[in-house]
Structure 1
Amino acid sequence: MSGGDWFLREALPEDLPALAAAELALFPDEAWDLDLLREEIFHPWRRYIVAESRADGAILGYAGIMITGDTADLHTIGALREGLGIGRALLQWCEETARAGLGSGAGPGAERMLLEVREDNTRARDLYARAGYEQIARRSGYYRTPAGPVDALVLSKEL
């Protein structure tokens, strides 16, 4: 998958500083640090992808999932540039990867995807709704922000 000016590829260790900077830009209230990102991309049950600029190699977005049994969890997804289809492509990659599973005899792929989204993140909520995700739960005050707690909406989609 790719756009005219960007393409998707597996996240690599050398991407960690750019991923940490993107986390801080996209999720300043709950950004993951370098050590947590390192654990994520090296974990055997997780898969991470980045959207890279063809022009300068900059990271334009990223996503990561965890696959356990018949369920996959979307751990993170973010696009640094809007309107290019990066978020949609990242989500599609996550779904396809979850369906395919971990490979190497690890069993079949996931049958559904779960994710949490901040209630006040209308851009992400719109993306998930267009992709067929439905709300199955609410976690009151899950996210802590300087302005106060924000609920998490738990969404699910059959794959």
Structure 2
Amino acid sequence: MARAVYLPRRGGTDMTGGKRSSRARATHAQVAERRAKAVRMKVSGARLEDIANALGYGSANHVSVDIRRALAANVREQSAATEEYIAIEQLRLDELLYAVWEEAMAGSPRHVELGVRIVEARRRLFPQQQVVALTTVESEILRLENELATRQLAVGGEIEESG
């Protein structure tokens, strides 16, 4: 049972989602390259005035703005990559939970345990969030664990089922 996962493509579109012209792509690439050079020069200790002269900027202030934009773009790219990774992992864990769900609902101890582990793995994806309310899946797993423990005790003769 494999389901296809479709993710949006990132490259080659403008901010509105439309295709960039070849001229716009070339200009964007040139700006990105000049920003990268400016950042490399600044990291190596060059003064803003020297970078402006070497790369054809109008002023040191323009260099400073471009360096800040390059750094901000890098942070956005890292954030987007992290979000994409989390989304993919969440989809994978959803698929795994789906695969064991029926057997867990039927009371299979092994599948209940696998379901619990999958839910725990999902929680580890979001360490910054403390989950207060249990999801339906988690509460059902807990119910099944309790029911399983009750059955095991009943079979052992330590408690009797009532009702």
Higher relative contact order (CA 8 A, sep 6+): 1
Q: Under a length normalisation based on structure 2, what TM-score does the superposition of the two structures give?
A: 0.21
Q: Which has the higher helix share?
A: 2
Q: Under a length normalisation based on structure 1, what TM-score does the superposition of the two structures give?
A: 0.22
Of structures 1 and 2, the larger Rg is shown by: 2
